[in-house]
């Protein structure tokens, strides 16, 4: 049995509305600038900046090294 409670419905609604908004923005952008590259706008990661997961891993590694250094 699948659990489809209010939180699930809210997530699905946000997902669907997000896809509709993204599509609408893409269509509007095509009319404003016909030479616009559709995929370039969707790139979220900036070069040189750590992703959230990388940042968490680095913070954990630094804290472990600090703990090991203090334990010795």
What's 10-64 look like in SS3?
Answer: HHHHHHHHHHHHHHHHHHHHHHHCCCCCCCHHHCCCCCCCCCHHHHHHHHHHHHH
Distance CA 38, CA 16 (A): 19
- Residue 36: inside a domain: yes
What is the model's pLDDT at position 56?
93
pTM over 0.75: no
Q: What tokens appear for 66 in the block?
A: 């600090």
- Residue 1: inside a domain: no
Q: Which of 58, 39, 42, 40 shows the shortest CA–CA distance to 50?
A: 58
- Residue 44: inside a domain: yes
Give the pLDDT band of residue 4 (cuts 50, 70, 90). confident
What is the model's pLDDT at position 66?
87
- Residue 56: inside a domain: yes
Q: How many domains does the chain have?
A: 1
- Residue 10: inside a domain: yes
pLDDT in tens, 10-68: 999 999 999 999 999 888 887 776 666 666 556 666 778 888 899 999 999 998 888 88
- Residue 15: inside a domain: yes
Domain with 34 in it: 6-71
């Amino acid at each position: 049995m699948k659990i489809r409670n209010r939180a699930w419905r809210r997530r699905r609604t946000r997902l669907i509305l997000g896809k509709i908004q993204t599509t609408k923005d893409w269509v509007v952008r095509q009319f404003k600038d016909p030479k616009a590259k559709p995929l370039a706008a969707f790139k979220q990661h900036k070069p040189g900046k750590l992703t959230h997961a990388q940042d968490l891993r680095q913070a954990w590694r630094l804290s472990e090294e600090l703990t090991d250094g203090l334990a010795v």
